[in-house]
Structure 1
Amino acid sequence: MSDTILTIADATKRYGSVLALDHVTLDVEEGEFLTLLGPSGSGKTTLLSAIAGFAPLSEGRIELRGRDITHEPPEHRDFGMVFQGYALFPTMTVRDNIAFPLKVRKRPAAEVKQRVEYCLGLVQMEDFADRMPTQLSGGQQQRIALARALSFEPQVLLLDEPLSALDKKLRADLQWELKSLHDSLGVTFIYVTHDQDEALSMSDRVVILKDGRIQQEGEPDTLYNSPRNRFVADFLGKSNFLQLSVKAREGDALTCAIGGTDFAVKAPGDVPSVDILQVALRPERIRLAEPGAEMLDGTVRQVSYLGERCLVMIEHEEAGTLMISQPTWKAGVTPRAGLPISFGWDADAPVILTGEAA
């Protein structure tokens, strides 16, 4: 089991009457890639700033390997930082930008030279060492910002939406590079983003925030497949939300209904006994078929072609409007707007929502 490198206990941050962090408690494990995910105003950047020392806490504490650093200034925390806007020194070459943190720390000249060359290699920018930042593309500048942040071997690397200013393809490429770099170095990464795909693809663990509170944390697949409440299910990916009438229970199986149609829903033993069940149903867990072939019949309202998949909006009299995601390659049925269609799902497809947003 990994050791805890960072402990955030009861962290609270107020800006006047605004509560930006509301008693957040979180442990960060040595060497993990932890992502803070949430919409604008959720508190993710404030939490990262508090860890960095830029936003002093109103209450609570932060510990680094058991040592209280709550009131230590940023320069004493020995954390690397990568910003969305690169923050490179425009009058310094690439080489000098990377060397700067080492020179500030008064490292020997031979060590500075060795570390700069090593970090240039890490980000595959050896051929650009003598260029100025204005001579680099956005992706290249971000690579240099990353190399500079890693040059002095920080205990923790903090990344504040570092890829959000880049175009979609470059962002996807750099996601792979960042994850590969993390895996090879073993440095603890704390990453802030509002992009769900980034969080799912790169993280060992994701912490989802809303209104300054943690809504749920866990491994990406656990959060996606087992969201605790409607906010998590809706923010992390897409979901359909249904109210099901509960008619009977036998073991871990519930008999539920939509309108006059009964079907089974798999339920864990801790689901409370209720007459109405709130569930989330991911679009890719719904099957499409010819009319009458599945348990529910509806009408196709809209189809959006996305290349490898298409999104199909279905209207059902009792269930309302549902979004269905279907592969386009060898699909069993080709939906068209206005046509009748049948749809259904397996008993373990719906996720029962047992919690409210914190």
Structure 2
Amino acid sequence: MTAPSSPSVLSIRKAVKRYGTVQALGGIELDIGEGEFLTLLGPSGSGKTTLLTAIAGFTGLDEGRLVLRGKDITDLPPDRRDFGMVFQGYALFPTMNVRNNIAFPLKVRKWKPADIQARVEECLALVQMEGFADRMPSQLSGGQQQRVALARALSFRPSVLLLDEPLSALDKKLRADLQWELKDLHRKLGVTFIYVTHDQDEALSMSDRIVILKDGLVQQIGEPGALYNAPRTTFVADFLGKSNFLDVEVEGFAGGRARCRAGGESFEVATEAPPAGGRGRVALRPERIRLAPPKGAAFEGAIRQTSYLGERCHVILDHPGFGQILVSCPTWKSGVVPEDGLPVSFDWDADACVFLEDA
């Protein structure tokens, strides 16, 4: 398990949650660092939301402990955990204006009126909503409502902010804009963020570390670049981005390179140690593959299909041994201009492939 770079604020120990015969959490072990932006990433049913609601106190654990700065909070009710929470559906009070929505947690905590007023103004400025204090939630756009929900969750200065897919209801452009704003807000405040999403791009762009979950179990933990470039399993390589998979026979190993054969072709894979037994599986990211005119690179194929995506073009190649290979190339600079049916050659560097543990 990859440890956080800062001292732990929250430790999760052997967390288990069952719903009848279904195990939603299967003994999660996790340390979350002070001031860290940690993302829980996984497909539907992976356990990410169950873990977040267990941290919040809304879901009780069947086994395991939660420890906040050395204090066991496993049985502590949600209102005593000092955690802020932002939901996917905003959860603003429809009969309260923006100012009163933000003030609500402070009134519950019996802050003085003057302190409440000052803190509400601070929070409005923090989320750039100063001119909207007297508006009702129904008078706000989705992005504005989410900003108010953020301000309310931060108003009482929580030690940890929990965010359950807070951007998923927004359109693509607004979601991208708010990702930048959330990351900037995290940098300014230094509060620990625990963020749930099923969106891989969102996780990669915002997080200090990512926890990838499947079937209630941690698959891999690490910094975004480390996870993307060195996935340990087929699931991680396939879920976090796109990958090609080649089952290989290892023919030799020297100088940090394994000589591999797959689909009737030979190529090298940079590795500290090849898999035992002489067989394995490698993941190859589509953007690490180079296209060239015929005879200009190591392997020959033909373009089956192209998909233009603006700044990039996705290309599916047919190769007699590898089968179908996905290539992602920049549209402004490529060895060929992709079009369906075009003969091409292609290759990649030795460090483009990574051996997987579950071959």
Determine if contact 1:36/1:207 at 8 Å carries over to the other structure. yes
Q: Does 1:323 align with 2:335?
A: no
Matching residue within 176, 180, 184 for 1:180? 184
Moved more, 242-251 or 20-29: 242-251
User: What's 2:197 paired with?
Assistant: 193
Matching residue within 278, 289, 292 for 1:289? 292
The 5 Å alignment of 1:115-194 reads 115-194=119-198
Q: Distance in 2 between matches of 1:273 and 1:159?
A: 42
Q: Over aligned residue pairs, what C-alpha RMSD do you find?
A: 1.0
Deviation at 1:277? 2.0
Q: Does 1:91 align with 2:73?
A: no
Determine if contact 1:12/1:59 at 8 Å carries over to the other structure. yes
Q: For 1:55-78, what per-residue CA distance to the aligned partner results, in whole angstroms no more than 9, with x for missing partners?
A: 000000000001000001100101
Q: Does 1:217 align with 2:221?
A: yes
Determine if contact 2:105/2:155 at 8 Å carries over to the other structure. yes
Q: Distance in 2 between matches of 1:324 and 1:136?
A: 42
What secondary structure does 1:51 align onto? helix
The 5 Å alignment of 1:325-340 reads 325-340=328-343
Matching residue within 280, 283, 286 for 1:280? 283
Give the TM-score normalised by structure 1: 0.98
Q: Does 1:9 align with 2:8?
A: no
Give the TM-score normalised by structure 2: 0.97
The AA in structure 2 aligned to 1:353 is L
User: What's 2:50 paired with?
Assistant: 46
Q: For 1:130-161, what per-residue CA distance to the aligned partner results, in whole angstroms no more than 9, with x for missing partners?
A: 00000000000000000000000000000000
Moved more, 44-53 or 321-330: 321-330
Matching residue within 240, 252, 256 for 2:244? 240
Q: Distance in 2 between matches of 1:234 and 1:318?
A: 21
What secondary structure does 1:348 align onto? helix
What secondary structure does 1:257 align onto? strand
Determine if contact 1:36/1:209 at 8 Å carries over to the other structure. yes
Determine if contact 2:275/2:355 at 8 Å carries over to the other structure. no
Deviation at 1:267? 1.3
The AA in structure 2 aligned to 1:216 is Q
User: What's 2:35 paired with?
Assistant: 31
Determine if contact 2:290/2:335 at 8 Å carries over to the other structure. no
Q: Does 1:312 align with 2:302?
A: no
Determine if contact 2:256/2:271 at 8 Å carries over to the other structure. yes
Q: For 1:67-112, what per-residue CA distance to the aligned partner results, in whole angstroms no more than 9, with x for missing partners?
A: 0000011001010000000000000000000000000000011110
Matching residue within 337, 341, 351 for 2:344? 341
Query: How many pairs does the alignment contain?
Result: 355
Determine if contact 1:161/1:192 at 8 Å carries over to the other structure. yes
Determine if contact 2:291/2:334 at 8 Å carries over to the other structure. no
User: What's 1:350 paired with?
Assistant: 353
User: What's 1:263 paired with?
Assistant: 267
Determine if contact 1:261/1:295 at 8 Å carries over to the other structure. no
The AA in structure 2 aligned to 1:323 is L
Determine if contact 2:211/2:218 at 8 Å carries over to the other structure. yes
Q: Distance in 2 between matches of 1:264 and 1:39?
A: 33
Q: Distance in 1 between matches of 2:263 and 2:282?
A: 16
4+ runs deviating over 3 angstroms: none
Q: Distance in 1 between matches of 2:322 and 2:193?
A: 42
Q: Give unpaired runs (5+ residues) of structure 2.
A: none
Q: Distance in 2 between matches of 1:2 and 1:275?
A: 40
Q: Give unpaired runs (5+ residues) of structure 1.
A: none
Determine if contact 1:115/1:151 at 8 Å carries over to the other structure. yes
User: What's 1:251 paired with?
Assistant: 255
User: What's 1:303 paired with?
Assistant: 306
Q: Distance in 2 between matches of 1:80 and 1:251?
A: 52
